Chains A and B, each alone.
Chain A
Amino acid sequence: MISFCGIELTHPIVNASGTFDAIAARRAFGDAVLEDFPFAAFVSKTVTLAPREGNPPPRLWELGAGMINSIGLPNKGLAGYLEHDLPQLAALPVPLIVNVMGSSAEDVATLVEAFGARDEVAALELNVSCPNVRTGLMMGADPAETAALLDAVRPHTAKPIVVKLTPNCTSPADVAAAAEAHGADAVSLINTLRGMAMHPRRPGEPWLGGGTGGVSGPAVRAVALAQVREVRARVRVPVVGMGGVQSGRHARDLLDAGADLVAVGTESFRDPRAGARIAAELQEIDGKSGMIAGAPARDASRVRTRG
Chain B
Amino acid sequence: MSLAPFGRRRLRVTGRRAIGAYDVLSVADPDGPAPDAGQFAMLAAADGWGGLEDERPFLPRAFSVARRHPDGTLDFVLEDVGPGTERLCALAPGEDVWLVGPLGRGFAPPGEGRRPVLVGGGVGIAPLMIWSDVLGGPTALLGFRDAAHAEGAALLPGARVATDDGSAGHHGLVTELLAEEIGFALRSSQARTSGRRHVEVYACGPPPMLEAVRALCAEHDVPAQLALESGMACGFGACFGCVVPTRDGYVRLCVDGPVLDAAALEEVA
**Which residues of chain A have a CB within 8 Å of any CB of chain B?**
18-21, 23-25, 27-30, 32-33, 36, 53-54, 57-60, 62-67, 69, 71, 74, 217, 266, 268-273
| In-complex Cβ contact of B236 among A36, A54, A57, A272 (8 A) | A272
| In-complex Cβ contact of A268 among B5, B56, B103, B234 (8 A) | B234
Given the contacts A64-B54, A268-B234, A32 and B240 also touching, CB distance less than 8 Å: no
Q: How many A-B residue pairs have CB under 8 A?
A: 123
Interface residues of B in 1-26 (CB under 8 A from A): 3-8
Task: List, in ascending order, chain A residues with CB within 8 A of B59's CB.
Answer: 62, 67, 269-270
Given the contacts A29-B6, A64-B55, A269 and B243 also touching, CB distance less than 8 Å: no
Interface residues on B, range: 35 or more
| In-complex Cβ contact of B3 among A24, A30, A63, A270 (8 A) | A30
CB of B233 within 8 A of chain A? yes
Inter-chain CA distance A32–B5, complex, in Å, is 8
A270 touches B56 (CB 8 A): no
A25 touches B233 (CB 8 A): no
Minimum-distance CB pairs A-B, first 6 = A64-B55, A24-B237, A32-B6, A60-B241, A269-B234, A273-B7
Task: List, in ascending order, chain B residues with CB within 8 A of A273's CB.
Answer: 6-8
What are 6 A-B contacts defined by CB distance under 8 Å?
A27-B255, A28-B254, A29-B3, A29-B6, A269-B233, A270-B60
B168 to chain A: closest CB distance in Å? 28
CB of B244 within 8 A of chain A? yes
Interface centre among B5, B245, B250 (most CB of A within 10 A): B250
| In-complex Cβ contact of B233 among A23, A29, A67 (8 A) | A67
CB of B230 within 8 A of chain A? yes
Residue of A nearest to B55 (CB): A64
B255 touches A30 (CB 8 A): no
B6 to chain A: closest CB distance in Å? 4
Given the contacts A53-B249, A270-B60, A25 and B239 also touching, CB distance less than 8 Å: no
Task: List, in ascending order, chain B residues with CB within 8 A of A64's CB.
Answer: 50-51, 54-56, 58
Inter-chain CA distance A289–B35, complex, in Å, is 44
CB of B153 within 8 A of chain A? no
B241 touches A59 (CB 8 A): yes
Inter-chain CA distance A1–B192, complex, in Å, is 71
Task: List, in ascending order, chain B residues with CB within 8 A of A33's CB.
Answer: 6
B240 touches A59 (CB 8 A): yes
B189 to chain A: closest CB distance in Å? 46
B231 touches A19 (CB 8 A): no
Interface residues of B in 200-245 (CB under 8 A from A): 230-245
B233 touches A28 (CB 8 A): no
CB of B100 within 8 A of chain A? yes
| In-complex Cβ contact of A269 among B239, B250, B255 (8 A) | B239
A57 touches B243 (CB 8 A): yes
